[in-house]
Chains A and B, each alone.
Chain A
C-alpha cells in the first residue's frame, strides 16, 4: 500500500483541497474544499449544472481533477483512482440494473465485478436481499419489479462489497413518496451503523434527514453545515406564500419592497423570501392591502431547498461584487 501518498485525516471519509475541473474553457468545479466525516450522511445539494456530477465523478476516480487534491477513504484520487473504485459504492438515479436478469443474478453480477470472494458471495447476497426487503423475490426479473423495489435492489447492488463509503446520485428521482420514505429510513440506518453516505437530492424533507448539507453553485461550495444550522442561522428568513387576486401587480409591488428579498412565482402563487426580521404573513397581507391589492391567502411555509439556494446564491453574488469593488478600490 502506498501509505506515503495516502493522506487525509482518519475521521474524514472525503476530503478535498482546491479540487478543480476544467473542460476547455468552462470551469465545472472551482477550488472545492469538501469535508465529509466518516459515518456521516452528507447531503450534496445543487441545481443541475452546478458541478455536482462532475464532483461525484472525480470522487469516484473516473475523472481526473485538473487541479487540487482529494482523498477518499484515505486513498489519493490522483494516484490511486482504481483503488478508489473498488473501495466505494455508487448508485445512480438510473439504478443501473439488468432488467432481463433476476434479483439474484443482478447481485451475483455486481458481487463478481466487485470481487467479493467466492466463499462469501452467497451469504453476502442473502444479507443484501434481507436489507433491501427483497426476500421471496430473488428469482424475479429486475424489470418486473416496481419502482421502490428496483431502487432498493440498486442500493443492494452498490452495497454488495460492503463499502465504507457510498455515493448516491439522486436515488429517489421518480420514485413514489412512500418508497422514498422507506428508502431514506434505510440509508439513515446504514449511516447510523457506520457507512458514510454522500447523497444528492432536490427534496428539502430528504435534506433535513442528513447530518450535514453542502450547497454547490457554479462549482463552488457556497454554504455548508447541519440542516438546523443552515435553516436557523445561515438562512434565518421567513418564507411566505400568498395567493393574490392580481398576482402580477402584487409581484411588482413586492419586488419594490425592501423587506422582501426575493419573489418567485410557483404555479398560481407567489413565494416570498423575506429579509431577516422582516414581516410575517400578516405584514405582507397588510402591505398589499394598503396598495389596494387583495390577497386570498397568506401563510408562512417551510423553506425549500430552492429557497435556501436562491438566498445563498444571491449572497454569493453580492459577495463577489463587493470583492470586485474592493479590488478596484485597492488598485485605484
Chain B
C-alpha cells in the first residue's frame, strides 16, 4: 500500500522537476504577484503633484499645508489665484490634486467648523484612491490637533470636530495599502495552486491515457487522490513560505501572530480548494479546459473576497456571494494572524465556515471523482 502511494508521490515530484517552466512559475509567481501588487501600490501614490488655492493666507492654512507635504503623499507644485486656474492645471494633468482653502479659514477654525475642499483627479484611480485616503486621514489628524489647541485657549463648545474636510473625488473606495494587500495575496496564491495545479495534474493523466492504466492497476482511489494531494500541498506551502519571506523582508509586512497557527489553518482552507480542484478535474476533458474552468472559479474569489476591495463597499448581492467564498474567511485569518497577531480565540468564527465548506465540497468532489473512474 505504501509502495503504491509513494510511487505516485515520487512520480508527481519527478514530473514537476522535469517541467522546468511549471517549477519556475511555481516559485516565481508568488514573488511576481507580491511585487506587482505591493510595489505598484507603494510607489504610485506618493508625491502626487498638488495645486493649492489658498484664499486665506493665514498661519493656520500654512500649518495645514505643511502637514500635507510632510505626509509625502502630496508635493505642492503650484500656487494659484483662482478656481479657473486650478481646474486648468488638473485638466492639463499638471496637478492631480487641488486644495482650496476658504478666505475665512482661520475664523471658521475658531468657530470649530472649518472646511476645505480637496479635488482629486480620478482618471488615475490608484492616485485618486491614495490621495483621497491620505487627505481624509490628514483631516482627521489635524482636527484632533486643533481640538487640543482650542481646549488650551478657549472653553470648548460642543463636540463637533472643528475641521471639516470636504473631499470631492469622483472615485472613492476604501483604504488600500501594500501592508493590507500583501498578506491577502498569500490566500490567493494557495487558492491558485490548489485549484489549478490539482485539476491539471488529474486531467493531464486523463488526456494522456495514463489514468486508464492507473484505474486498471491495483491503486486504490484514495491512494491516487492522496498521491496527488500531498505533492500539491507541499508545493502550496512552499509558495506560501516564499510569499511570506518576501512580504516580510521586502515589504516590511510585520508578522505578529503565530506562523504555526497560520500554516495549520491554511490546511483547512486548502482542503476546500483542493475539493474545487478535483471538481474542476472531473468536469474537464482537456488541460486547457481545466485551466479555464479553474480560472473561472478563481475570479469571484479575487474580486469578491475583499482581497482588493472591501466587502462593505459592495452591492448587497455581491456581499452575499462574498460570504460563501472561502477566501473571504481565510483573508480575515491571514490578516488577523499576520497584521493583528490574534489567535484562535478570535479566529474560530472564520474557521467554522472553512471547515463546513471543506467538508461539503471535498466530499462531493471525491464522490464525483470515484464515480467517474468507475
Contact = CB atoms under 8 A, between A and B. Distances in A.
Interface of A: 60, 62-63, 82, 85-86, 90, 92, 94-101, 105, 108-110, 112-115, 118, 141, 157
B11 A96 contact: no
Given A60-B216, A92-B209, A98-B15, 6 more contacts: A98-B11, A100-B19, A101-B11, A108-B7, A113-B7, A115-B4
B318 interface: no
Interface string B196-230: 00000000000011101111111100000000000
Contacts of B6: 112
14 contacts: A62-B374, A82-B218, A85-B218, A90-B217, A99-B208, A100-B14, A101-B15, A105-B14, A109-B7, A109-B10, A112-B6, A113-B3, A114-B218, A141-B18
Contacts of B11: 98, 101, 105, 109
B10 A96 contact: no
Interface in B1-34: 3-4, 6-8, 10-11, 14-15, 18-19
Q: How large is the interface on B (under 10, 10 to 19, 20 to 34, 35 or more residues)?
A: 20 to 34
A47 B109 CA distance: 94
In this complex, the member of B4, B208, B216 whose beta carbon has the largest number of chain A beta carbons within 10 angstroms is B216
A86 B218 contact: yes
B31 to A, nearest CB: 25
Interface of B: 3-4, 6-8, 10-11, 14-15, 18-19, 208-210, 212-219, 374
B123 to A, nearest CB: 49
Contacts of A62: 215-216, 374
B10 A112 contact: yes
In this complex, the member of B209, B212, B213 whose beta carbon has the largest number of chain A beta carbons within 10 angstroms is B213
A112 B3 CA distance: 5
A86 B218 CA distance: 5
A142 to B, nearest CB: 10
B242 to A, nearest CB: 24
Nearest to A94: B209
A79 B43 CA distance: 69
Given A101-B15, A112-B6, A113-B7, A96 B218 contact: no
A229 to B, nearest CB: 32
Contacts of A86: 218
A90 B208 CA distance: 16
Nearest to A109: B11
A96 B14 contact: no
Given A101-B11, A101-B14, A105-B14, A85 B216 contact: yes
Contacts of A82: 218
Contacts of B215: 62
B213 A112 contact: no
Contacts of B218: 82, 85-86, 113-115
Contacts of B374: 62-63
A101 B3 contact: no
A100 B15 contact: yes
B18 A101 contact: yes
A108 B9 CA distance: 13
Nearest to B11: A109
Nearest to B19: A100
B3 A96 contact: no
A173 to B, nearest CB: 12
Contact of B3 (A90, A105, A115): A115
A112 B10 CA distance: 10
Contacts of A99: 208
B212 to A, nearest CB: 5
Contact of A112 (B7, B15, B208, B210): B7
Contacts of A118: 3
Contacts of A112: 3-4, 6-7, 10
Contacts of A63: 374
A4 to B, nearest CB: 23
Contact of A96 (B19, B212, B219): B212
Contacts of B4: 112-113, 115
Contacts of B216: 60, 62, 85, 90
Nearest to B9: A112
Contacts of B208: 94, 96-99
Contacts of B219: 113
A92 B213 contact: yes
Contacts of A60: 216
Given A100-B18, A112-B4, A95 B209 contact: yes
Which 10 residue pairs of A and B lie closest in terms of their CB atoms, listed nearest first?
A112-B7, A94-B209, A96-B213, A86-B218, A90-B216, A100-B18, A85-B218, A96-B210, A113-B217, A109-B11
A82 B215 CA distance: 11
Nearest to A106: B11
Contacts of B8: 113
A80 to B, nearest CB: 12
Nearest to B211: A96
B151 to A, nearest CB: 74
B164 to A, nearest CB: 66
Nearest to A154: B213
A90 B217 CA distance: 8
Contacts of B18: 100-101, 141
B213 A90 contact: yes
B25 to A, nearest CB: 16
B270 to A, nearest CB: 25
B213 to A, nearest CB: 3
A85 B217 CA distance: 6
A96 B7 contact: no
